[in-house]
């Protein structure tokens, strides 16, 4: 999901996750006891469960073993707003592997308008939420004597058994929500890669959405990403009511890569600029899933071990689809830009925030080594490598050796500079961490800071002069034994690299720099990089 809010500098620095693919992340749907309307044990011989207004038919040979199938009424209402033409039902106990289509009949009410479907909902993990959410695809349905009839496609042959990963999980029985809807229309994109199912009221915007998605398809293909692992097209796209600030999501389905699909918020369809960016960001998540070596059940239900890289790459890609082009700064990057300084271990403990902030690392990679280098990273992940290991293999110098030039580019604001991510944020970050030294009198001659940093991390100190009688020959000496650090001069509009070194650095023209309206930023970094990145290293930074 993407939702686009204008965030203040304060929000940027505190890195609160109130925007993004995940800002309104709903918790998993609350489980409540609901009465079972019908149940039956069905095995290889097949069987039927009929209740008022609903019927499920399992053909002979669909199930390999006996399964207890239960039907209940969904506690969720208005899933498709005024397009609902029936109650929604829940089927529990469907085996993860079934070989034949399952037939569904749902009695509808009222008059069917435009096209009608049976909506099938499954709880899927959403990369952009880092959580599960209920999501819906639409099954083609025919009208028969007051019932809509559709078939749930079989799952066998869609890759449950295929895995190059130690992270794959054995599948559980499946649960679906099913209900009848009407008043929808369908449109296949010009390149035939996307099928948009939408309420008839947003016809023109649906055509535009199809074009945005085709643009994204062509963009990632031009970089070098392959779609060969998906053999069933088009991608199904459902337009429906979502949370108010959400633009859209993409989902990995329990049916596998061929059934990965997308949802977009009907109430955001008129917001063209944001919808373009969302379409690109979310489609990239479907592309990334083709390089995820886990089996289909694991991909649809659980967080990827490289989620941080997926989010970093999708946020980086947004500039392709924004009218601002290369000068674009994603609001979600801006509000999480400093998360990457918290260390490589954060990629596992807070993958989403770390990933958003790591968009700058992906931009550094692609700016210096071409966009195709990102494809190489994902190919290595598909072959079983971790994200950091894959990055290390693709970079011409190791990740730890790349940390210095990356930080220099980041804090010279060569990678990103714009709304929400300005040079002034460097000083604000130091102040937030109480790592600022303000010289107000002659007595303010020395200050020291003690703490520690984890693997592949950094921290920032700021020095500001407010002493009018500062000696013209005043200099600053920075000492931090066995540590590397960088110096920048910073004002509200620019940040210029001054020097870097180890142990000790001397800034001889501090008075001149201060008189020109600059403050000094010190970036101290730990480029140790030993998996699983749990080590820390103590420092004492003295400034005098």
Among 14-18, 446-450, 513-517, which stretch is predicted with the lowest mean pLDDT? Answer: 14-18
**Dihedral sign from CA coordinates of 21, 333, 541, 501:** positive
Q: What is the number of alpha carbons within 13 Å of residue 372 lying toward its C-beta? A: 2
What pTM, to 2 d.p., does this model score?
Answer: 0.89
Please name the residues in contact with 281: beta carbons below 8 A apart, sequence gap of 6 or more. Answer: 2, 21, 128, 314, 315, 317, 318, 321
**pLDDT tens-digit readout, 58-99:** 999 999 999 999 999 998 877 898 999 999 999 999 998 999
Burial of residue 309 (CB within 10 Å: 0-12, 13-18, 19+) is buried
Residue 13 backbone dihedrals phi, psi, to 5 degrees: -70, -40
**pLDDT at residue 184 greater than cutoff 50:** yes
User: What's the pLDDT score for residue 406?
Assistant: 96
pLDDT of residue 153 exceeding 90, the answer is: yes
Per-residue pLDDT at 172: 75
The residues pairing with 507 across neighbouring beta strands, listed in sequence order, are 476
Convert the pLDDT of each residue in 242-259 to its tens digit.
999 899 999 999 999 999
Residue 127 predicted with pLDDT over 80? no
| pLDDT tens, residue by residue, 403-443 | 999 999 999 999 999 988 999 999 999 888 889 999 999 99
Burial class (CB in 10 A: 0-12, 13-18, 19+), 38: middle
- DSSP conformation class of 101: P
Q: What percent of the chain has pLDDT over 70?
A: 91
Which CATH code fits 30-75+77-301?
A: 2.60.220.30
Residues 305-320 have pLDDT tens digits of 999 999 999 999 999 9
Could you give the CA distance from residue 372 to residue 104 in angstroms, rounded to a whole number?
45
Specify the CATH number of the domain 427-543.
2.60.120.1050
Burial class (CB in 10 A: 0-12, 13-18, 19+), 159: middle
- The CA-based diameter of the chain, rounded to the nearest angstrom, is 94
The string of pLDDT tens digits covering residues 190-221 is 999 999 999 999 999 999 999 999 999 999 99
Confidence tier at 326 by pLDDT (50, 70, 90): confident
**Does the pLDDT value for residue 169 go beyond 90?**
no
Angle subtended by helix axes 399-411 and 387-394, to nearest 10: 90
What percentage of the chain has pLDDT greater than the value 90?
78
User: What residue spans in the chain does CATH classification 2.60.220.30 cover?
Assistant: 30-75+77-301
Over residues 459-501, the pLDDT tens digits come to 999 999 999 999 999 999 999 999 999 999 999 999 999 999 9
Task: Name the segment(s) of the chain with CATH classification 2.60.120.1050.
Answer: 427-543
């Amino acid at each position: 999901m993407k939702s686009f809010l204008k965030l203040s500098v304060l929000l940027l620095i505190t890195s609160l996750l109130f925007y993004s693919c995940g800002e309104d992340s709903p918790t998993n749907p609350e489980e409540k006891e609901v009465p079972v309307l019908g149940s039956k044990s069905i095995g290889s011989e097949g069987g039927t469960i009929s209740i008022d207004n609903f019927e499920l038919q399992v053909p002979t040979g669909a199930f390999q073993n006996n399964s207890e199938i239960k039907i209940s009424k969904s506690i969720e209402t208005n899933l498709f707003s005024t397009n609902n033409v029936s109650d929604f039902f829940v089927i529990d106990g469907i085996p993860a592997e079934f070989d034949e289509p399952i037939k569904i009949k749902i009695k509808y009410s009222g008059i069917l308008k435009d096209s009608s479907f049976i909506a099938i909902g499954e709880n899927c993990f959403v990369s952009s939420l880092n959580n599960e959410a209920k999501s819906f695809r639409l099954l083609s349905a025919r009208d028969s004597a007051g019932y809509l009839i559709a078939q749930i496609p079989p799952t066998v042959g869609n890759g449950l058994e295929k895995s190059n990963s130690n992270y794959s999980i054995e599948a559980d029985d499946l649960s679906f929500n099913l209900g009848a809807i009407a008043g929808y229309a369908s449109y296949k994109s010009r390149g035939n890669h996307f099928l948009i199912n939408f309420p008839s009221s947003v016809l023109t915007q649906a055509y535009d959405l199809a074009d945005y998605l085709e643009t994204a398809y062509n963009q990632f293909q031009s970089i070098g990403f392959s779609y060969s692992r998906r053999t069933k097209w088009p991608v199904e796209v459902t337009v429906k009511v979502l949370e108010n600030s959400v633009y859209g999501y993409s989902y990995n389905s329990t049916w596998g890569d061929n059934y990965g699909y997308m949802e977009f918020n009907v109430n955001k369809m008129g917001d063209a600029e944001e919808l373009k960016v969302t379409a690109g960001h979310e489609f990239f998540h479907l592309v990334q899933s083709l390089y995820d070596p886990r089996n289909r059940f694991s991909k649809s239900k659980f967080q990827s071990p490289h989620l941080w890289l997926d989010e970093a790459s999708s946020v980086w890609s947004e500039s392709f689809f924004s009218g601002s082009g290369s000068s674009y700064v994603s609001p979600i990057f801006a509000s999480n830009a400093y998360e990457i300084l918290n260390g490589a271990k954060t990629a596992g403990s807070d993958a989403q925030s770390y990933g958003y902030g790591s968009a700058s690392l992906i931009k550094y990679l692609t700016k210096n080594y071409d966009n195709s280098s990102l494809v190489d990273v994902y190919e290595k992940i598909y072959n079983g490598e971790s994200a950091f290991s894959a990055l290390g293999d693709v970079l011409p110098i190791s990740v730890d050796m790349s940390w210095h030039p990356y930080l220099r580019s980041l804090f010279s604001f060569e990678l990103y500079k714009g709304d929400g991510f300005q040079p002034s944020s460097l000083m604000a970050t130091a102040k937030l961490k109480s790592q600022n030294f303000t010289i107000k009198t002659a007595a303010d001659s020395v200050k020291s800071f003690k703490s520690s940093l984890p693997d592949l991390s950094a921290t920032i100190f700021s020095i500001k002069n407010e002493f009018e009688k500062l000696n013209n020959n005043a200099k600053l000496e920075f000492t931090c034994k066995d540590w590397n650090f960088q110096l920048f001069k910073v004002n509200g509009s620019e940040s210029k690299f001054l020097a870097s070194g180890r142990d000790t650095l001397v800034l001889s023209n501090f008075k001149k720099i201060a008189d020109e309206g600059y403050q000094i930023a010190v970036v101290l970094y730990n480029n140790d990089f030993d998996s699983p990145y749990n080590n820390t290293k103590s420092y004492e930074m003295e400034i005098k």
